[in-house]
Chains A and B, each alone.
Chain A
Amino acid sequence: MKKLLTLLFTIALTSLFSCDTYKENFDVDGTGSITIKFNFLHDRAPLEYNRQYINALGQNYTLSDFRMYISNLTLRDTSGTNFYKVEDSYHLLEIIEESDTSIVITGLPNKSYSELQFSVGVDNAANYNTDQVGDLDPANGMAWNWDTGYKFMLVEGLHLVDSISTKGLVYHIGGDANYRVVKFSEQEINLANTPTMYIELDVNVDYIFGDKSEYGLPEDQRKTNFIDLNDDTDQDTMFGPNTQKIADNYAQMFTWKDIIGQ
């Protein structure tokens, strides 16, 4: 009986807390605007297509196409209890022109925020209907046609096996298991004082195959996973265990660079 009471008390307490902590605000639009610029980098320099790169395992490759979905942008205010979730927030980032690596959100409440959050991928609710407009339009080439859903990240190029032979390098990663949430709380985003903010985030694209600076570390002390490009069956490049390791890597590839009031 005592155990039961403890359990009930715990449940009650947990539900009380979870009720209070997260309040979504959709009804208080303001004049705040944030532009988030994603700098696609490789080895700390701007990502270049068809340039020879090397992963942590010493395997050579080039990239010819890199795209990803960023979704569900959310801001948490400094009180910590309210958050503003941008509606219909699905953004396809690709290197076609500069603007394709930026996200602009407007109509934000003029408050001060302590945390910026977004996800890599498309959430479960939107992932299983591909008849959508905007960045989720399947005409953008990020939807599968044989298994309903979106590629969260598309990585294509060549795996340079040795000095003469090459193989296609293809990672099309999607599926609920590979959806990842990324959070930043380094700096305050004060839209009450400065309604227009410009944020720059670096995207270390090379981290998708493992952060090379962790090379000397034993496996259990590394934060990223070293991906073997020879694991290239469909299972490893679309939904298999390798893709979950890559997803853990892409959750770590973003770093906060700058915030500028305009």
Chain B
Amino acid sequence: MERHYWSVITLLICSIYLEACDSSFKEETQASVISYQNIPAPERNKMNAEKVALGKMLFNETILSKDSSIACVHCHEPQYANGENVALSTKGVSHKKLQRNSPALINVAWAKGWFWDGGAKNIESLIFGPLTHEDEMNADLKEILVRLNQTPIYKAAFRKTFDIEEIKSAHLARALAQYVRSLLSNQTKYDAHLKGNYQFTKNEQSGLEIFKRHCQQCHTPPFFTDFDYHNNGLDKDDFFTDLNEGMSKGRGRISRNKKDNGKYKTPTLRYLNTSSPYMHDGRFATLDEVFDHYTTTILKSETLDSLLYQRITLTKEDRLMLKAFLHTLDQPNSEI
């Protein structure tokens, strides 16, 4: 009986100790989730530094586009969070305006679906989208593989890293996917704060509270996205049509479920300072325009996210503090 009594006490002490540690333990975990060592990758394409380096070379390679005029990096520039600073790009080989904003490529290895609507089911398969789309790089895969196989530096690099004699499209996609997975954001002021190396200012701290109340259900830390799809009231029901191959349906175009019409993947808020303009079509140029939307212009439709039935009211002061917090997620200059 006595022994039993002691074990109960020990358990009790342990649980109190654990409880006390809980909050800081959680924050520490959050800070260390995003690291090169933790990058999720499929079994067939495990992370490997040499492949990442080869992927980076290819990311900057113009011979992958039909007329050898552009490379991936032209629409995914490091100084813009590996995205672009225009709403809809015209840099593709056709110079036609694209239909979606070039997304920021940050911590995308952790996503569950890729493209704004989740049409790509893994990053390797995603690569073929921009490579072959007629208004993007418009590559004929067979043709660019001939070019790669005829370029001694690539021939040698692929032979070394993939142990192959002939470069196939799968190898190209895998190398590029590795590089894309390696594009991390984990060195912001926010991350420094979690590690105890940076003290939030008063405004930043108050901004965090506002953020927790209004934003973090979808922009969930530490990625500041839930990687899920939501309709945040940008358009009305009648906008979600079959026209233009159903482009305006967003997620509904992929799931072929009306319940997903008008939903788009939550973008990360990391590197917000350099990833403007905002939304899947880049319709908002500034953070204030984004706040204005959530305060005044949310449009009701069948699939509007229930979290937004009530508009988010932010005072001038709220905005100031919220911005102060959001800027702790900025892209640090040192990383550029």
Interface residues of A in 224-248 (CB under 8 A from B): 233-235, 239
| The one of B125, B169, B170, B245 that contacts A148, using a Cβ cutoff of 8 Å | B125
Contact A130 B168 (CB under 8 A): no
Q: Decide if B124 touches A131 in the complex (CB within 8 Å).
A: yes
Are B242 and A133 neighbours in the complex by a CB distance under 8 Å? Answer: no
Chain A positions within 8 Å of B142 at CB level: 139
The residues in A between 124 and 167 inclusive whose CB is less than 8 angstroms from any CB of B are 128-133, 137-139, 143, 145-149
The answer to whether A139 and B256 have CB atoms under 8 Å apart is no
Is the Cβ of A137 less than 8 Å from the Cβ of B168? yes
Q: What's the minimum C-beta distance from A139 to chain B, rounded to whole angstroms? A: 4
Q: Is B119 an interface residue (CB 8 A)?
A: yes
Q: A129–B245 contact, CB under 8 A?
A: no
Q: Are B115 and A137 in contact (CB under 8 A)?
A: no
Cα–Cα distance between A106 and B45 once the two chains are bound (Å): 29
Counting CB contacts under 8 A, is B259 at the interface?
Answer: no
Closest to B140 in A: A139
Closest to B144 in A: A139
* B120 CB to nearest chain A CB (Å): 5
18 A-B pairs in the complex with CB atoms less than 8 angstroms apart = A129-B42, A129-B124, A130-B124, A130-B173, A131-B44, A131-B127, A131-B169, A131-B170, A131-B173, A133-B168, A133-B170, A138-B128, A138-B141, A139-B141, A148-B122, A149-B121, A234-B246, A235-B256
For chain B, what secondary structure do more than half of its interface residues adopt (helix, strand, loop), or is it mixed?
helix
> Chain A interface (Cβ within 8 Å of chain B)?
128-133, 137-139, 143, 145-149, 233-235, 239
B242 touches A131 (CB 8 A): no
Question: Is the beta-carbon distance between A146 and B168 smaller than 8 angstroms?
Answer: no
Nearest chain A CB to B76 CB, angstrom units: 17
Q: Are B125 and A128 in contact (CB under 8 A)?
A: yes
Q: Output the nearest chain A residue to B247 by Cβ-Cβ distance.
A: A146
The answer to whether A148 touches B119 (Cβ under 8 A) is yes
Complex Cα–Cα for A146 and B253 (A): 10
How many angstroms between the C-alpha atoms of A235 and B246 in the bound complex? Answer: 9
Alpha-carbon separation in the docked complex, A138 to B256 (Å) = 23
Given A131-B169, A133-B170, A137-B168, A147 contacting B254 (CB threshold 8 A):
yes
User: In whole Å, how far is B138's beta carbon from the nearest beta carbon of chain A?
Assistant: 11
| B236 neighbours in A (Cβ, 8 Å) | none
CA distance A10 to B129 in the complex (A): 49
Task: Name the distance in Å between A242's Cβ and chain B's nearest Cβ.
Answer: 13
Residues of B within 8 A of A (CB): 42, 44-45, 115, 119-122, 124-129, 131-133, 141-142, 145, 168-170, 173-174, 177, 242, 245-246, 253-254, 256
A96–B295 Cα distance when bound, in Å, is 60
**Which residues of the other chain, B, contact A233 by a CB distance below 8 angstroms?**
242
| Neighbouring B residues of A129 by C-beta, 8 Å | 42, 44, 121-122, 124-125
Whether A235 and B170, one on each chain, are in contact in the complex, defined by CB atoms closer than 8 angstroms, is: no
The CA-CA distance from A234 to B242 in the complex, in Å, is 8
B133-A145 in contact (CB<8A): yes
A131 engages B133 (CB within 8 Å): no
Specify the chain B residue showing the minimal Cβ separation from A141.
Answer: B141
B246 touching A145, Cβ below 8 Å: no
A147, B119: Cβ atoms closer than 8 Å: yes
Given contacts A139-B142, A145-B132, contact A131 B119 (CB under 8 A): no
Chain A nearest Cβ from B104, distance in angstroms? 20
Name the contact of A234 in the complex, choosing from B121, B129, B177, B245 (C-beta under 8 A): B245
Instruction: Give the interface centre of A131, A137, A239 by most chain B CB atoms within 10 Å.
Output: A131
Q: Which residue of A lies closest to B129 (CB)?
A: A145
A178: shortest Cβ distance to chain B, in Å? 13
Once the chains are docked, how many angstroms separate the CA of A128 from the CA of B122?
A: 8
Q: Is the beta-carbon distance between B129 and A139 smaller than 8 angstroms? A: no
B161 to chain A, nearest CB (A): 15
> Assuming A130-B125, A133-B168, A148-B125, is B145 touching A139 (CB within 8 A)?
yes
- Bound together, the chains give a CA A146 to CA B115 distance in angstroms of 8
In the complex, chain A residues whose CB is within 8 Å of the CB of B245: 234
Provide the residues of chain B in CB contact with A128, threshold 8 Å. 121-122, 125
> Do B170 and A145 touch (CB < 8 A)?
no
> Is B173 a contact of A146 with CB atoms below 8 Å?
no
B128 — which chain A residues lie within 8 A by C-beta?
130, 138, 143, 145
Identify which of B132, B145, B170, B246 contacts A132 (C-beta below 8 A). B170
The answer to whether A137 touches B121, judged by C-beta atoms less than 8 angstroms apart, is: no
